[in-house]
A and B are shown apart, each in its own frame.
Chain A
Amino acid sequence: MDFGLSEEQSLFQDSLDAYLGDRVGLERVRRIAAGKEDPQALRRELVEFGLSGLLIAERHGGVGLAPMDAAVAAECLGHHVTPAPFLGSSVVAPLALTLAGGQTERLQQLAAGELTIGLAFAEAVGARADAGLVAKGGKLSGKSLYVLDYGAEEYLAADAERRLYLVAAAAVAHQPLATVDRTRTVGELVFQETPATLLSEDPDCLHTLIDTAWVMLAADTLGAAQNMLDQAVAYAKEREQFNRPIGSFQAVKHLCAEMAAQLEPCRALVWYAAHALSAAPDEAHLVACHAKAHLAEVGAFVARTATEVHGGMGFTDLLGLHYWFKRIGFNRQALGTPELVREEAARAQNLAA
């Protein structure tokens, strides 16, 4: 029995962490967030590292790893508030195309980093006013709001019947949407009898993709929250008031301890949820729900508390702590708020109608 990362996964984590440490400093995050640097360069650097082919079979040019490895990567990316797409092109699209079958060419292109695919199925979790897609004669009409990894060449989309489609960005009207988290790109797509490739009619396919995305968002929050806690602890050791480090005051120490106490079990929850995606399909859905919702709650607590430990500096742009704060906030709202996801957890156990 060995509950945790394997030796290979630990090595992978360390090397990705070092790679991102070299390339994704706060200055670059600021430049990309402010639109002063094209995020494509960073995306290509992640492709060079091998993140694009993580989940793609070796025969299609990938490395054929498991969702747990992708979660390890997501945690690292969150830790460094990496302003580059990952969820769509590196995780959900490879999975969708593999499940759909017959998509060899696209998988090869994804693995090589020559194709990017965004996610336009937020409405499958909860549609806001005016949003949602309907299919008629194989063509899609309607609006998809809050598309993740906006700026991609193609999008995965879902209709009201939970069928899964692939559409070309060129075939839809679209516009970017500014959000609080500038390390991610979000947009809106408008379909008008837009031709789309049907990937799967089975709603379970879409559900698997959502579960996987939930676990990746949870892992991203885990990494970001851990970094905020680390920064808060470092600051509390260094910053002095009343002639002592503020971390020696129990009022501050206990805030840090409470963050650690809530965050540490999240690590085991995210690991298990990621493991279950491929190894325990019967449990995967429920654990994915809880990972997404619980990390959203603990993430919000850590984001707020770590900022507070930094005092006034935490509130400034100078320190840049807000990039993590906003990233965690993004992960909380994206693809279902905790309330919606917990309701799904109850339904999954027949505890709700």
Chain B
Amino acid sequence: MDLSYGADYKAFRDAVRRFVKTHRHKAPKGDGPRSPKVLDWQKLLIENGYAARTIPRAYGGFGAKPDILLSRIIAEEFAAAQVSQGIGGQGIAMLVPTLLEVGTEAQKQQFIRPTIYGEMVWCQGYSEPNAGSDLASLRTSAVLDGDEWVVNGHKIWTSTAHLADWIFCLVRTEPEAPKHQGISFLLFRMDSPGIDVRPLVDMTGIANFNEVFFADVRVPKQQIVGARGEGWKVANAILGHERDALGDPNLTLSRLNALTKLMQTETIDGRRVLDHPVYRDRLMKIQARVMAMRFNDMRVLSARINGQDAGLARLIVKLQGTELRHELEQLGIDAMGELGLAYGKNPHLRDHGNWQSHYMFYLGLIIGGGTSQIQKNIIGERGLGLPREPKPQTPLKR
């Protein structure tokens, strides 16, 4: 067991800390995409190597060698100071790594720089009403007509589609091929004629998701990533990143601290909630699980650094991380009793109502990004080697 980051890393951490302290007043707080504050902050982060750190300079990044520990230190320090780590979203998190992996030189030149600087906002067109857990059965089609793909179909759960400039989209281009081999990965503008975006209000009351309808949307032929029919492989090259990000134990730890504080301030009959033994016991139960997930995260990180696959320790993160977070938020609500119901305009609101909104939001994450049930299939089959369910005797109709 060697848990030290080493002397070089300590110097780096000190530098990050100094940067955060000096510049934190410039950091955006809840400003919308493309606002000057967000764009300026992103530029400052990239120039200093705290965002787009390993993206090559040729594409506008900082161009550092990949070093998992350095990236971790940056994330830890910004999170600890509660300062924005720059622009997130699916363009930066998912499309850019995909393009770096399989994009053409022209695509890298065209898309990476504006994306990492926040000037080009993306949405992800994967799920469809009839292609959820069984994503590979998606039916949105693209047919080549001269030099253009003609796209028709219907996507759902498309986060930020109403804000996006572009979409990266899975479409079926080879209808006769087996389902995983008939998919291609296209990029196109969201202001193309024939696109209709309809907001989908979720249970938190926010319309972050959308349904997106395509009617004869024309896309230049070269805006395909990877070869025709290889879209499933292209998309899967980076799906693991999303799953890892959904159960971040460091975020959970900061919520645990907020929960402890809440239970020290809220009272029942003049007595702190924390002083009620049953509530306190629930807090301690949650704390143990948060602790276990943090050490599990260190184990996964250490395996990555040493070029090993952490196996089950990695496969369980999305399932355990999101379930744990949902339960943590629930204890926050329970600690407030009736006050825990406050939502929206209510003078008794605590912490801007975020206990209720996170409680619901994390139920969304239990379902999204591969449901808990799909996660259990993955753990059972890939992690434990249990047999897959036999295929039905007669193929079900598409």
Contact = CB atoms under 8 A, between A and B. Distances in A.
Interface of A: 1-6, 68, 233, 236-237, 244-245, 247-250, 253-254, 256-258, 260-262, 264-269, 271-272, 275, 279, 287, 290, 293-294, 297, 339, 342-343, 345-346, 351-353
A253 B386 contact: yes
Contact of A236 (B6, B260, B313, B386): B386
B260 A3 contact: no
A260 B285 contact: no
B280 interface: yes
B316 interface: yes
A237 B386 contact: yes
B30 interface: no
Contact of A3 (B283, B298, B379, B386): B298
Contact of A290 (B277, B287, B375, B387): B287
B306 interface: yes
Interface range on chain B (Cβ under 8 Å from partner) = 35 or more
Contact of B302 (A1, A250, A339): A1
A254 B2 CA distance: 35
B296 interface: yes
Contacts of A250: 373, 376-377, 389
Contact of B296 (A68, A257, A268): A268
Given A257-B383, A264-B316, A290-B288, A1 B2 contact: yes
A165 B387 CA distance: 56
B291 to A, nearest CB: 5
A260 B384 contact: yes
A265 B305 contact: no
B390 A244 contact: yes
A303 B120 CA distance: 53
Given A4-B302, A257-B377, A352-B280, A272 B389 contact: no
B385 A260 contact: no
Interface string B367-391: 0000001011101110111111110
Nearest first, the 5 A-B pairs at minimum CB distance are A268-B295, A257-B376, A265-B292, A3-B302, A257-B379
B277 A294 contact: no
B354 interface: no
A342 B295 contact: no
Interface string B292-305: 11011011011101
Given A260-B383, A264-B312, A351-B280, 17 more contacts: A1-B4, A1-B302, A3-B3, A244-B387, A245-B387, A247-B380, A247-B386, A248-B390, A256-B384, A257-B377, A264-B296, A265-B292, A269-B295, A290-B291, A293-B288, A351-B283, A352-B280
Given A1-B5, A293-B284, A352-B280, A248 B386 contact: yes
Contacts of A269: 288, 291-292, 295-296
Contacts, number: 162
B283 A4 contact: no
A260 to B, nearest CB: 6
Nearest to B263: A351
A237 B385 contact: yes
B274 A351 contact: yes
Contacts of A265: 289, 292-293, 295-296, 313, 316, 320
B284 A346 contact: yes
B370 to A, nearest CB: 13
Contacts of B396: none
A351 B384 contact: no
B1 A3 contact: yes
A273 B274 CA distance: 25
Interface in B165-196: none
Contacts of A345: 284, 287-288
